[in-house]
Structure 1
Amino acid sequence: MIELKGINKIYDDGFQALKDIDLTFEEGKINVLIGPSGCGKTTTMKLLNRLTDYTDGDILIDDQNMKQINPFELRRQMGYVIQNIGLFPHMSIFDNVATVPKLLKWNKHKIRERVDELLNMVNLDPETYRNRYPAELSGGQQQRIGVIRALAAEPSTILMDEPFSALDPISREQLQDELTKLQQEINKTIIFVTHDMDEAIKIADQIILMKDGEIVQKGAPQEILANPANEFVTEFIGEDRLENVLPSIQDMIQSDYPSISLNTTVEQSIQLLSRYQISDIPVVDENGAFNGIVNLFDLLNNKRTDLKTFIHDTLPTITENMDSHRLMQIFHEHKSTVYPIQTKEGNLAGVVERKQLVHLLHQFYMNKSGDSEWSS
């Protein structure tokens, strides 16, 4: 875990690049630093591998003060991917990827296995690409080599400084797609700098939006899209993105989702939940009015108790005409599998499932290109 506590960075000319930064980079997640030019995002990243030093405050890496770690050892423990790739042109792809493992004195067999494993991971056949040189590869292929070189020594943290910005749009989208897929396999702490909000929304688990050396807002993409902190955030995201995140609630309602009545027995409820393979189900009275939700696991543990005992209604009321961004706030604040939707009279109109919201957000983030593969 990497924590920044009260970090300030003041240059010799008096310019303050960072102002009292408190930040935790989420472990095993993609953390995206974004903001306008000069906001401090690249400076923040460079602090982490001591390419620049901070003026005051503390940076802790797994609870150890960073200044107690040898800078050279620190850099070897972190992968680093930059915009202009930085491959060594006179070295083969094998030797480029193997650079840090060789410095760490891995044995030849282990290095060979690791290089081939990484080439396969990004769909570059080792027999074809191992002995080629960077000039023989396309820009997209070179950047993939840059990514796997950063992974070669199995670091826990990867720093990525606008790694895809110099690529053509198609290669850039492919690399964004594959980074998110790759992360599911490697589960590294990735700190990614970009100036592109679409890229941030698409790949991030946590977005850190900066302005004038300060953090303006941080959170998951859906949090920030659903609840921009101020006018600057709204303008930086762009109102078109905010308007197009989700369709209206009416378009998402599943009106045929099963429900049960107050006089349904616990045993009958369990059978219905099992039949539909769901864990939560709405409860309505004889007039169709929504009363709450019951959960399968609660019922399984107390089969002999009256159903009414298990009804809970902790969700805010969600109506058909509610703004979909308010639903997103509820989605973030309340981890339910279903979100019952009520008519203005209080009757159950249907539900929106959590997995449906996740799918819709995923479609938006992946920008309709989430199924692409690593390609030339």
Structure 2
Amino acid sequence: MIQLNGIHKVYDDGFQALKDITLTFEEGKINVLIGPSGCGKTTTMKLLNRLTNYTEGQILIDDKDIKQVNPIELRRQMGYVIQNIGLFPHMTIYDNVATVPKLLKWDKQKIKQKVDDLLRMVNLDPEVYRNRYPAELSGGQQQRIGVIRALAAEPSTILMDEPFSALDPISREQLQDELVRLQKEINKTIVFVTHDMDEAIKIADQIIIMKSGQVVQKGSPQEILANPANDFVKEFIGEERLGSALPSVEKLMTKQLFTVYQSDSVEKAIEHMVMYQMKEIPVTDHDGKYMGMLDLFTAMNQSDKSIHALLDHNRKTVALNAGSEQLIADNLFETYDTLGVVSEDNTLVGVIKREQLLHTLQHFYELKRGGQ
């Protein structure tokens, strides 16, 4: 995990590039820094491998202050991918990818195996491409080599500074897809700088929007599209993109809950469901932790049993921080009418009903079609 605490950066001429940046780059996620030119996004990234130093504050990587780490050692522990790729033109693809493992004095057979594995990972046949030179590859192929060279020494963190911006639109889109696919396999902490909002939305787990050296908003693409923090964010995202966001799970759910405790009687649960016209009711313990869902017909047919014995313990729940797209993709409402929404500690915070979700989706797609 990478943590920036109260970071300031002031240049010798007095220009303050960064102002009190406090951030966490999530482990195993693609964290995208984005904002207009001069906002501080590239400066923020270059602090992480000490290509530039901060004036005030602290940066921790896995709880270790980076100022206590030798800069050369720090850089060898990180992959770095830049816009102009930076492949060595006089070296073969094999030697380019093997650069850092050789510096680390890896065994020759281990290096060869690693290079071949990485080439296959980006769909480049080692037998075909291993001994070629950069000039013999297309721009998209060269950028793939740039990416796997950053992965060769198995770093936990990859820094990517507008790596795809110089490519044609088709190659760029292919590499964005490739990065998202690769991340599912390699599970690295990626810090990715871009000025392209569409790219950020497509690849990011976390987007950090910057302006004038400060963080304006951070969150998942879904959260930012659904809840832009201010007019600057709205303008930067663009009206056409704002209309593409489904409501968050928090906005979809009903927070006013009618629940029963697992220790209550079945008769009490039936009374509640009849009184509030509910087909089923969520059950919690006395600390508010979600225990399961009890449906009315089961309760009426087996009223002699305890609530615990009648609970549907296997029913899935919805995480409060889940995206609506995931809710739909998982098809959770195919079987059930109501699902509990839970926080990270399994506290019940709301429910989502199938009818409510369908109504929201209908309204959303009507808006997308211009009301037609």
The residue number in structure 2 matching 1:34 is: 34
Q: SS where residue 46 of structure 2 aligns? A: helix
Q: Deviations over 1:207-234 (max 9, x none)?
A: 0000000000001111111111111111
Q: SS where residue 45 of structure 2 aligns? A: helix
Alignment partners' CA distance in 2, 1:244 and 1:41 = 25
The residue number in structure 1 matching 2:100 is: 100
Alignment partners' CA distance in 1, 2:87 and 2:110 = 22
| 1:298 maps to which of 287, 292, 298 | 292
Alignment partners' CA distance in 1, 2:325 and 2:274 = 24
- For 1:305, the aligned partner's letter is S
Checking the alignment, whether the CA contact within 8 Å between 2:79 and 2:155 is kept in structure 1 is yes
The residue number in structure 1 matching 2:58 is: 58
| 1:350 maps to which of 352, 355, 366 | 355
Checking the alignment, whether the CA contact within 8 Å between 1:226 and 1:329 is kept in structure 2 is no
Q: 1:331 to 1:128 in 2, by over 3 A?
A: closer
Q: 1:150 to 1:38 in 2, by over 3 A?
A: same
Q: Deviations over 1:74-104 (max 9, x none)?
A: 0000000000000000000000000000000
Alignment partners' CA distance in 1, 2:325 and 2:178 = 30
Checking the alignment, whether the CA contact within 8 Å between 1:160 and 1:192 is kept in structure 2 is yes
Relative contact order, higher structure (CA 8 A, sep 6+): 1
Alignment partners' CA distance in 1, 2:115 and 2:89 = 18
| Structure 1 residue 310, shift from structure 2 partner | 6.1
Alignment partners' CA distance in 1, 2:326 and 2:109 = 49
Q: 1:309 to 1:225 in 2, by over 3 A?
A: farther
The residue number in structure 1 matching 2:189 is: 189
- For 2:95, the aligned partner's letter is D
User: Between Structure 1 and Structure 2, how many residues are aligned?
Assistant: 300
- For 2:306, the aligned partner's letter is T
1:68 correspondence with 2:73: no
Q: SS where residue 228 of structure 1 aligns? A: coil
Checking the alignment, whether the CA contact within 8 Å between 2:280 and 2:293 is kept in structure 1 is no
Checking the alignment, whether the CA contact within 8 Å between 1:223 and 1:329 is kept in structure 2 is no
The residue number in structure 1 matching 2:77 is: 77
- For 1:350, the aligned partner's letter is E
Alignment partners' CA distance in 1, 2:34 and 2:354 = 40
Q: SS where residue 124 of structure 1 aligns? A: coil
Q: 1:308 to 1:160 in 2, by over 3 A?
A: same
1:215 correspondence with 2:220: no
Q: SS where residue 298 of structure 1 aligns? A: strand
Alignment partners' CA distance in 1, 2:71 and 2:354 = 60
The residue number in structure 2 matching 1:150 is: 150
The residue number in structure 1 matching 2:261 is: none
1:167 correspondence with 2:167: yes
| Structure 1 residue 134, shift from structure 2 partner | 0.3
Alignment partners' CA distance in 2, 1:88 and 1:200 = 29
Q: 1:349 to 1:223 in 2, by over 3 A?
A: closer
- For 1:72, the aligned partner's letter is I
Alignment partners' CA distance in 2, 1:122 and 1:245 = 31
Alignment partners' CA distance in 2, 1:349 and 1:47 = 47
Q: 1:76 to 1:307 in 2, by over 3 A?
A: closer
Alignment partners' CA distance in 1, 2:307 and 2:113 = 60
Q: 1:308 to 1:297 in 2, by over 3 A?
A: closer
Q: SS where residue 105 of structure 1 aligns? A: coil
How do 1:1-376 and structure 2 match up within 5 A? Answer: 1-246=1-246, 292-293=281-282, 298=292, 304-306=305-307, 350=355, 352=357
Uncovered stretches (5+) of structure 2, i.e. residues with no partner: 253-271, 285-289, 339-352, 365-372
Q: Deviations over 1:104-154 (max 9, x none)?
A: 000110000000000000000000000000000000000000000000000
| Structure 1 residue 239, shift from structure 2 partner | 1.0
Q: SS where residue 179 of structure 2 aligns? A: helix
Percent pairwise identity: 71
TM-score (norm 1): 0.72
The residue number in structure 1 matching 2:345 is: none
Alignment partners' CA distance in 2, 1:82 and 1:285 = 63
The residue number in structure 2 matching 1:365 is: none
Q: 1:241 to 1:34 in 2, by over 3 A?
A: same
Alignment partners' CA distance in 2, 1:294 and 1:179 = 42
| Structure 1 residue 305, shift from structure 2 partner | 2.1
Checking the alignment, whether the CA contact within 8 Å between 1:94 and 1:131 is kept in structure 2 is yes
Checking the alignment, whether the CA contact within 8 Å between 2:28 and 2:187 is kept in structure 1 is yes
Uncovered stretches (5+) of structure 1, i.e. residues with no partner: 253-282, 316-326, 342-347, 361-376
Q: Deviations over 1:135-182 (max 9, x none)?
A: 000000000000000000000000000000000000000000110110
TM-score (norm 2): 0.73
Q: SS where residue 149 of structure 1 aligns? A: helix
Checking the alignment, whether the CA contact within 8 Å between 2:246 and 2:324 is kept in structure 1 is no
